[in-house]
Amino acid sequence: MGGQCYEWSRLDLGRIGGALAGLGSSDADGVLSVSLAEEPISDDALRRLLEGYRRVDRLLAGRIGLFSYGAAGQLLELNHIVLCGVTPERRAQFGDHIAETARVFYERPGIGDLTDWYKRNRGRAPRNVAAGLFLRLVSTPQLFVEGNSRTACLLASYHLARCGLPPLVIGVESFARYAEVLRRTEAVDRTSFSSLFTAEFVASRLAGLIEATGDPSFLLDAAPTGAVGSGGSG
């Protein structure tokens, strides 16, 4: 089958929240967090990540194309959510960080590079496109100041659900495999010609992870929409 997308599926946020809660309860000693050298997998961090999935679901419900003209701010907002939450109080608390993240996001060529890559590759199989998007956020140079891997999970999930496939949700059973693939992804330097083969290998591992962890129960029932219309990501 080709990569043409015909579905705008919705996310089952209850089931996704349950999977994230299970991951948090299994990391009471912080071992999983240390293995990723990231923010601890706390209840607060997981709530913010779930808010990110909630935002993705709203994008899907509105048929909003993240790669349409003028939509870059939607992707930036996903990063703000996973790092700073959605409440006015937290946004005020992290105002300086939000402003710096936005400055870097728009001044670096990263968003243009990501959009160009998507336009060249959007006809590929959806899991391969999702893996490529994940890689381009997490490998060097990264798109955001912080929170690239969590934002990458959300972006991959958006594309997958848009194509009628289960989102990328990491639970207890898949965490070890995810951590190993993530480390490989972070080690890829896209500015180096010698890393081209490595990038393709890592992308294939990512696509395999996406397929292996794809749980249909994370999707709500969705009806086909026919061909991609004006709200599409192209």
pLDDT by residue for the chain (234 residues), tens only, comes to 445 556 899 999 999 999 999 887 775 555 555 555 566 778 888 999 999 999 999 999 999 999 988 899 999 999 999 999 999 999 999 999 999 999 999 888 889 899 999 999 999 999 999 999 999 999 999 999 999 999 999 999 999 999 999 999 998 899 889 989 999 999 999 988 878 889 999 999 999 999 999 999 999 964 444 333 333 444
pLDDT at 224: 44
pLDDT at 51: 98
pLDDT at 232: 44
pLDDT at 227: 33
- Angle, vertex CA 210, rays to CA 209 and CA 215, nearest 5: 115
Please tell me the pTM assigned to this model: 0.89
pLDDT at 38: 62
